[in-house]
């Protein structure tokens, strides 16, 4: 018997295929605006100096590679919870909030998905349209009913009214996933006034928010980016938050993150954490230790923390200046107004508003790679080549639109 005869091939991750196509491209002026990692002026994804120093210190001081507990490194989870919720957060001081360490933000989302599926049976989850594609598959694969609320429409504008109207129709008790800042893939974030309105609907419909916080420090600053998370944590007794240290600590491959839970009281938090530990045991047993130890070392040391905050500020400011630079370079082509949203968006990503046909032309004619949806990783822009990029965009925007025969790489 051929046991694997029925196994069929699933298409690869479109962003990974884009990376492969980029690598194979021999054009000397090629530009990768596809994959979602921060890049410095040399086009590299750097290891922050604070991380290197923490690693040196760990090399000297680490005495064991024994397992860490199911909830992870207690110093890491304690310090990360404060970074996310704020040092004086009431849920933390009342011992009704806690964090479980996970393999990255993805692991936190997967653990949240299993928790919802098994402990809150019947609850569906609502995702923004569009959202990070992995959200779709994580929750669907975990067996949840996945639905969508409008966020950015075909006109490439944030549509808060449509979002609120849809949230107002969500069945009571369902889970709504919100991006804390630096919305992936669009770069369009809610204003503080919008967040207050979302909170009112969440309360009125008795929804459970799951806030995905993957870019703390990449939007407006470490504290500023946590504003909505803390608003919700102060206003609601129950909340789920997924936090990732991949981007802000540059620890992508170390798989470092956490699922934070705010519960009505300590007893309930203990119940929930017992379930999370059980589920995590079945998913990955115990989380990887190294990245969490690095983060804990940095956050526990004032000098290292100050260095890390500086480096994070530098990354954020670099992306902001690339946004401004691109819009300025588009000005002589009469396109500054059309692309003004690029400098208003936050985080690494921009929904440029370029069509799949235009994205395809950029790739084929200019070796400029972005995701088929028109999402560009702004951090991938080379500041010495603003002109070249602006000119290519101007050419594809001037060309007549054709209907794409085959699907885009998205």
Ligand X SMILES: Cc1ncc(COP(=O)(O)O)c(C=O)c1O
Regarding 186 and contact with ligand X (CB under 6 A), the answer is no
Strands 97-102 and 257-262: antiparallel
End-to-end Cα distance, the chain: 37
Choices 72-80, 98-106, 152-160, 231-239 (CB under 6 A): range interacting with ligand X: 98-106
- The least CB distance from residue 270 to ligand X, in Å, is 27
Per-residue contact track with ligand X, 11 to 40, x per CB under 6 A?
-------------------------x----
Regarding 246 and contact with ligand X (CB under 6 A), the answer is yes
Q: Which residue stretches of 62-210 are H helix?
A: 74-85, 90-93, 104-119, 133-141, 160-167, 192-205
Regarding 214 and contact with ligand X (CB under 6 A), the answer is yes
DSSP letter, residue 111: H
Q: Catalytic pick from 39, 73, 114, 132?
A: 132
Regarding 184 and contact with ligand X (CB under 6 A), the answer is yes
Regarding 106 and contact with ligand X (CB under 6 A), the answer is yes
Strands 239-244 and 349-351: unpaired
Regarding 105 and contact with ligand X (CB under 6 A), the answer is yes
Identity of the residue, 184 or 367, whose beta carbon is nearer to ligand X in the bound complex: 184
Strands 125-129 and 257-262: unpaired
Regarding 347 and contact with ligand X (CB under 6 A), the answer is no
How large is the angle between the packed helices 302-330 and 386-398, nearest 10 degrees?
A: 50
Regarding 377 and contact with ligand X (CB under 6 A), the answer is no
Number of residues that bind ligand X (CB under 6 A): 13
* Residue 310 falls in the annotated catalytic set: no
What is the residue-wise DSSP string for 321-364? HHHHHHHHHHGGGT-TTTTTHHHHS-SSEEE----HHHHHHHHH
Regarding 297 and contact with ligand X (CB under 6 A), the answer is no
Among 132, 149, 188, 218, binds ligand X (CB under 6 A): 132
Q: Which two tokens stand for residue 49?
A: 């100096």
Residue 376: which H helix or E strand, with range? strand 375-377
Identity of the residue, 319 or 329, whose beta carbon is nearer to ligand X in the bound complex: 319
Cα(162)–Cα(308) distance, integer angstroms: 39
CB distance 373 to 367 below 8 Å: no
- The least CB distance from residue 61 to ligand X, in Å, is 26
- The least CB distance from residue 100 to ligand X, in Å, is 14
* Residue 132 falls in the annotated catalytic set: yes
* Residue 82 falls in the annotated catalytic set: no
Q: Catalytic pick from 247, 308, 360, 410?
A: 247
Residues that bind ligand X (CB under 6 A): 36, 104-106, 132, 179, 184, 212, 214, 244, 246, 252, 257
């Amino acid at each position: 018997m051929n046991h694997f005869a029925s196994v069929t091939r699933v298409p690869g991750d479109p962003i990974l295929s884009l990376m492969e196509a980029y690598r194979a491209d021999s054009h000397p002026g090629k530009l990768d605006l596809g994959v979602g990692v921060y890049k410095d002026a040399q086009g590299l994804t750097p290891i922050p100096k604070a991380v290197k120093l923490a690693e040196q210190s760990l090399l000297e001081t680490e005495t064991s590679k024994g397992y860490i507990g199911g909830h992870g490194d207690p110093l890491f989870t304690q310090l990360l919870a404060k970074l996310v919720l704020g040092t004086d957060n009431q849920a933390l001081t009342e011992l009704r909030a806690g964090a479980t360490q996970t393999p990255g933000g993805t692991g936190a989302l997967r653990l949240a998905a299993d928790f919802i599926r098994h402990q809150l049976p019947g609850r569906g989850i609502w995702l923004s349209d569009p959202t990070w594609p992995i959200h779709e598959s994580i929750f669907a694969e975990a067996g949840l009913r996945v639905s969508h609320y409008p966020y950015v429409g075909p006109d490439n504008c944030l549509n808060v009214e449509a979002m609120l109207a849809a949230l107002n129709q969500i069945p009571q008790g369902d889970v709504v996933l919100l991006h804390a800042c630096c919305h992936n893939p669009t770069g369009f974030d809610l204003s503080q006034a919008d967040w207050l309105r979302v909170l009112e609907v969440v309360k009125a419909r008795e929804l459970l928010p799951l806030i995905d916080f993957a870019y703390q420090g990449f939007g407006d600053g470490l504290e500023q980016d946590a504003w909505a998370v803390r608003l919700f944590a102060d206003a609601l007794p129950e909340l789920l938050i997924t936090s990732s240290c991949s981007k802000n600590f540059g620890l992508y491959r170390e798989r470092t993150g956490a699922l934070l839970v705010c519960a009505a009281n300590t007893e309930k938090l203990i119940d929930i954490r017992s379930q999370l530990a059980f589920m995590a045991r079945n998913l990955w047993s115990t989380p990887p230790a190294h990245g969490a130890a690095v983060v804990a070392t940095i956050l526990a040391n004032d000098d290292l923390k100050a260095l890390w905050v500086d480096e994070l500020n530098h990354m954020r400011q670099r992306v902001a200046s690339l946004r401004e630079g691109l819009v300025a370079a588009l000005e002589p082509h009469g396109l500054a107004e059309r692309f003004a949203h690029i400098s208003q968006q936050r985080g690494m990503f921009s929904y440029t508003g370029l069509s799949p046909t235009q994205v395809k032309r950029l790739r084929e004619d200019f070796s400029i790679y972005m995701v088929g949806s028109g999402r560009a990783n702004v951090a991938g822009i080379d500041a010495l080549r603003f002109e070249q990029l602006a000119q290519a965009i101007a050419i594809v925007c001037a060309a007549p639109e054709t209907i794409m025969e085959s699907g885009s790489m998205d």
